[in-house]
Amino acid sequence: MLARRLSDDPAVRVLLLEAGPAEGGAAVRDPARWTELLTGPLDWGHAYEPAAPTLHRHIPIPRGKVLGGSSATNAMLWYRGHPADYDAWGPGWDFAALLPYFRRSEDRAAGGDEWRGTGGPMHVEREADPHPVAQAVLEAAAELGLPLIPDANGATNAGATVPEFTVRDGRRHSAADGYLAPVADRPNLEVRCGVRVVGLEFAGERCVGVRDSAGQVVHAEREVVLALGALETPRLLMLAGIGPADHLRDTGIAVRVDLPVGERLADHPLVTGMTFHARAPLGPVRGTGGGAMLNWCSPGADRPDLHAFVVQGPHATPEVATRYRLEPPVFAVSPGLMRSRSLGSVTLTGADPTAPLRIAPNLLGEPSDVEALGAGVGFVQELGETRALRAVSAGPAAPDRRLTAREREDFVRLATSTFFHVAGTAAIGPVVDRRLEVHGVEGLRVVDASVFPGLPSCNTNAPVVAVAERAADLIKEQP
């Protein structure tokens, strides 16, 4: 996104370095096959550290390693959450400031209005013919009092809706498709794939370039912008001596700037395993395999903090799949918490840039998160008892019966994984300033989900694009 906007000025030369390949193959292009991309050569292979609140289970955290990043491997949901999420980010990054950039980035098939944009690089559209299970979930939500809303990216996100996806003509439409492909022949824009950056180069207090895994150094004429995501960006900063001083010294890295890099790691916990037996075979996957989205409030919440989506097939952690009978045909309605209070951290395990990261997410570390997710489990079980869902469901598969409050907590701990929405590890305020420049360093900026000072109640694709759009203007304004 940023490379495209900066290269709009023919006087500016932009070099984009990507660790993965330029193309991801048929599985990237086919929206129904996105789950195949959660492991393999297009994934960085990260996993959360096992911890007591989630029963010491192995929880992968997929991150895209291909041109377009995670927008080329994710579930394609285009969703920006609640406006108040961004108001908490402060001046220059509140919703009023970001709305023009959300709109500028969009090419909404259903048309634009005061909330939505058309003609932008990111084509977004709804599933034209939602799966009968998805339609039944929407009707079930209405039975329980959730309003049916036309657009979760409009005036309110509270309710049930057919979501929008970054899909065009039946194919995934990644950030690389929307922003880079149309300008691939620009003489002032160079894209190099298969290049992993492992170090930053400095002249005094100024970052003047990057070093790749082959030892080659590329010098920047103006500045270096890191957009490696909320796990790899903090790694690169800390390897360069920009991070928590004590941790860097313990790792054998000289301290350049003492900053809380890697702290306040945020993610959305997801209960992966609320599954129902289907009354009939589900047939071919439609669209991305989803088709319905619900947003509602846990007890005491002032705006939606619980979110659920449909999966046209099984969707469960290995532990849930082992405990319950999940033979096809089954479908899932997976609830998650979009305003988790539990925060974790990312640290190095050594000075080797290829050493595994220690990613301690602290999922379910706060009792309030467990309570809210328990309420989400209860609501989905109520969905299963509605007239609309009983029409397509032959009964619950996992859990296979109504649960007590204590049993819901146990199920939450067994079934919780992640939405893969990591953010906040180089946040505006403690690590970067409001222009996204790293404190104490010249010529170095961060433009990815690392800078989020709070995690919005949504998938991170749309807000990352909006942040990049705004960052492009900030960079252009700078003399």
Catalytic residues: 421
Nearest partner of 414 among 323, 319, 300, judged by Cα: 319
Residue 415 in tokens = 């079934």
Question: Are 15 and 192 contacting, i.e. CB atoms less than 8 angstroms apart?
Answer: yes
- One DSSP character per residue, 142-183 reads HHTTPPB-S-TTSS---EEE--EESEETTEE--HIIIIIGGG
Q: Work out whether strand 59-60 and strand 47-48 pair parallel, antiparallel, or are unpaired.
A: antiparallel
Question: Are 81 and 163 contacting, i.e. CB atoms less than 8 angstroms apart?
Answer: no
Question: Are 173 and 31 contacting, i.e. CB atoms less than 8 angstroms apart?
Answer: no
Q: Which residues are bridge partners to 330 per DSSP?
A: 277
CA dist 59 and 317 (Å) reads 9
User: Does an H or E element contain 413, and which?
Assistant: helix 405-415
Q: Work out whether strand 14-18 and strand 206-212 pair parallel, antiparallel, or are unpaired.
A: unpaired
Nearest partner of 132 among 294, 283, 354, 333, judged by Cα: 283
Place of tokens 């990352």: 464
CB atoms within 10 A of CB 380: 24
Amino acid at 159: G
* Residue 60, phi-psi category: left (phi > 0), alpha (psi -120 to 50), beta (remainder): beta
SS3 state at 264: strand
